[in-house]
Structure 1
Amino acid sequence: MTLKLEKVSPLQVILLLSFNRIAIVLLWFKFFNQDVWITEILALFYLPLLCAPLLFLSKQFAQLTIIEYLTIIAGKWIGKALGVLYTVFFLFIAIIDLSLFDNIIKPINFPETPDYAIIALALITCGYGVFKGLEVITRAAELFAPQVLAVIAFYAVLQIPDMDFRVFLPILADSSFSEINFRAFNTAARMNEIVVLAMLVPSISKKGKPTTILFWAAIIVTVFSLIIIVPTLAGLGLDLAKKTFDPYYLFIKQISIYDFITRIEFLIVAAWNIGMFLKISLLLYLSTISIVQIFGLSRRKVLIIPMITIIFIAALKSNILTSVVVFNIMEYIPYINLIFMFGIPVIVLTTFFLKKIISGKTDFTKA
């Protein structure tokens, strides 16, 4: 029995992917010099290169998830093994995001609360979202994403009088051609939402094109990343932005309206909560779908508690909740992403073309 996938609209997927990536930028961004804004723009030109293999495969197998067409192209056992790797990848990213969230939100709001309580409450909330399904997760993104984006723009506008844009000068004085391109490539490699999209393609209604969806998601992410990065750097200065644990939060804490409306940073804390809960819920949902499709199960909801338990134990029994460990891992995330968003897809795509040439078949979905 094949699991029937829920249907969502292209707009919902665009907002979900955008919100997921921006939630990470709100929590973690490394300021290396005054040219960080250039790397964000330049990353748009590297992203199509990194996403091309998965986009092509998603177009060829528009009715299947990446887990399903891996077994068609690579064979039953290799395909299932690769499917397990992708499931582990989804769970790993969920653990990293949960740890990042814990490291940011605990010192600000719950300094005396033990890690296990924060993790447990977050996972219970996310588990409920997974139980309700993809449609509810995307509807929540459709509801909250525009509000959060409006708040980000609101903060930027409020701080304009206190910004010093001279911090961006001289442009490219501290960045060589190779350094700026490397950092742009690194930034593009952080957008692992292409792997998420490869899982969601058969769930998208109205024949939404993956390339168009990714294009608009990338544009939204770039624009609002700049709206976060540029005001933060202009408001704090480079030295403070480089040294501060959470520069964006520090930036918005200094905002006041007419000198009597203060502490409006609670809005961005709410955005952190909503964004991370939605992203972790989505990753857990994809993990359950992956397991169902790998092992031919008919029910996904029975997997929710085991998945949550795995994440809870993995987070608490490792050192990943410590700030030093999680922020060090964040440095290596682009290289891990590259394996799943580019490396494996390139090998699978090569296999696809070789099989197509040898067999002469044009439709592998019926294999």
Structure 2
Amino acid sequence: MKDNVRISSYQATLLIIAFRIVLAFSYQPAINAPPGNQDNWIMIFLSTIYSIILCVPMLILSNKFRDFTLIEYMKLIYGRTLGKIIGLFYSMVFLLFTIIFVSILVEILDSTMFPETPTWVTASMMLITCIYISYKGLESIGRGAEIFVPLILVVIAVIIILGINVLDFGVFLPILSDSSFKDINMGAIDIGTKFVGILILAMLAPYLDKRENLNKIFIKSLIYSILIVVSMIIVSQAALGIEQAKHANFPFFTFARLINVFEIVHRIESIYVVAWITSNVGKITGYLFFTTVALSQTFRKRENKVYIIPMSIIVFISSVLIKDKRSILAAKEPLNKISLFIALTSIFIIPLIALIVYFFRRDKLKGKTKSN
């Protein structure tokens, strides 16, 4: 697959940016992170530093093993048996995130647009689309990002510009009056830990047309996504108020519904919905695809396609059961703790241990790393 599949640095950057901003496009969990007030935008900017620190071990390994995905070089470093266990763990991480994203998407669609539609109908429609794109492969996902992500970013920019008249930036004053250094850092660590885009980049590394651009892709995607997320949170808080934004399930969508454009087009929300569904389908497709790639590399299967349907069935059943049992958005605290633990383990703890093991085994692994 690596010999004939290539994705450009531009496409990889767009994919990671899109995957990062989907949550802000949906329900903006960062609004409720400490300090939970008008200074959250400062906290989010600060989280960039923590993201870089936490992602350094995996970034170093991906640079050392440019010809291998995350799953493949973990097997090289840890050995066959332990490497297979770790590969299965990362496969389950991608699968769990896919289930969470589908559950959130279905919940938002059911509560805002299709309240009478059964959950299984909404979930199946989304997954059928994602299955089709996944079967097309990585190059199709990359080309799709090149077309749709710029359009999604334009939609976000247009919504923000059209909503300028409903924004009150006075809600952000006085700056830092109600926040402690401890609270801002706690929130920054929480947000910084959840930059799981590094997992996507580590899986994409051997498929890049210019593998030497790995660090540039990481920095660009991190900085650009943070700027976009901060912009969306600022306008949501400025439009709804600090407290109301915290209690709104979908702050940016609520902001979009406040916008009146001339007399003919009374609402801009339909444009938002199209862009939002497109971004979610792209993210779910990406995580479903990398779930199957991780499984195929863990168990040495030549084709990841054999796992697409089975994993989709698991995602479908799980998301329907979760949605029908309880609201996933209402369970913010358990969801936050679970995602924090998984993110910290997958992007920092396991790669850090792997980096230490590599340090002691580097002579044996020297012939398997990238050429210097």
Following TM superposition, by how much is the alpha carbon of 1:225 offset from its aligned partner in structure 2, in angstroms? 0.9
**Gapped runs of 5+ residues in structure 1?**
none
**What amino acid sits opposite 1:139 in the alignment?**
R
Matched, 1:322 2:327: yes
Select which of 177, 180, 187 maps to 2:181.
177
User: 2:299 aligns to what?
Assistant: 295
SS of the residue corresponding to residue 128 of structure 1 reads: helix
Mark the runs of 5 or more structure 2 residues left unpaired by the alignment: none
Q: Look up the SS of the partner of 1:117 in the other structure.
A: helix
Give CA-to-partner distance per residue, 1:213-243, whole Å, 9 cap, x none: 0111112111111221111111111121122
User: Within 5 Å, which residues of 2 pair with 1:232-271?
Assistant: 232-271=236-275
Q: 1:331 — aligned with what?
A: 336
Hey, what's the Cα distance between the residues in 1 that align with 2:268 and 2:250? 16
- What is the Cα deviation at residue 258 of structure 1? 2.9
Q: How far off is 1:207 after superposition?
A: 2.9
Aligned residues of 2:17 and 2:221 also touching (Cα < 8 A): yes
Per the normalisation by structure 1, the TM-score is 0.94
The answer for the alignment partner of 1:188 in structure 2 is 192
Alignment of 1:156-167 (within 5 A): 156-167=160-171
Shift of 1:260: 4.3
Instruction: Kindly indicate whether the alpha-carbon contact (under 8 Å) linking 1:47 and 1:188 is maintained by their aligned counterparts in 2.
Output: yes
Match of 2:43 among 32, 39, 49: 39
TM score, norm. by length of structure 2 = 0.93
| In 2, Cα distance between equivalents of 1:163 and 1:361 | 56
Q: What is the SS of the residue equivalent to 1:362?
A: helix
The corresponding residue for 1:17 is 16
- Choose which of 341, 349, 372 in structure 2 pairs with 1:343: 349
For the pair 1:147 / 2:151, whether they are aligned, the reply is yes
* Matching residue of 1:67: 71
Please give the alpha-carbon distance, in whole angstroms, between the structure 2 residues aligned to 1:361 and 1:309. Answer: 38
- Work out the CA distance in 1 between the residues paired with 2:364 and 2:278: 49
- In structure 1, what is the equivalent of residue 361 of structure 2? 355
Amino acid aligned to 1:331: N
Question: Once the two structures are aligned, what percentage of the paired residues are identical?
Answer: 35
Give the length in aligned residue pairs.
363
1:103 to 100, 107, 110: 107
Distance 2:331 2:273 in 1: 20
CA–CA distance in 2 between the matches of 1:361 and 1:225? 40
Aligned residues of 1:91 and 1:284 also touching (Cα < 8 A): yes
> Any idea what SS the aligned residue of 1:363 has?
helix
Give per-residue Cα distances to partners, 1:74-129, cap 9 Å, x unaligned.
01000000000000000000000111111112212111011111111111110001
Structure 1 residues 363 and 329, CA gap change in structure 2 (3 angstroms): farther
SS of match in other structure, 1:49: helix
Deviation at 1:160, TM superposition (A): 1.7
Deviation string 1:2-51 (CA, Å, 9 cap, x unpaired) is 77562100000000110111111111214221111111211111111011
SS in 1 for 2:88: helix
Amino acid at match of 2:360: L
Q: Which shows bigger deviation, 89-98 or 288-297? A: 288-297
How far apart are the structure 1 equivalents of 2:298 and 2:55?
24
Deviation at 1:324, TM superposition (A): 5.0
Q: CA contact under 8 A between 2:2 and 2:207: conserved in structure 1?
A: no
Are the equivalent residues in 1 in contact too, given 2:103–2:320 (CA < 8 A)?
A: no
Matches within 5 A, 1:279-290: 279-290=283-294
Partner of 2:42, secondary structure, is: helix
CA contact (8 A) 1:195 1:341 kept: yes
Asked if structure 2 preserves the Cα contact closer than 8 Å seen for 1:292 and 1:298, the reply is yes
Shift of 1:323: 3.5
- Separation of aligned partners in 2, 1:19 and 1:361: 35
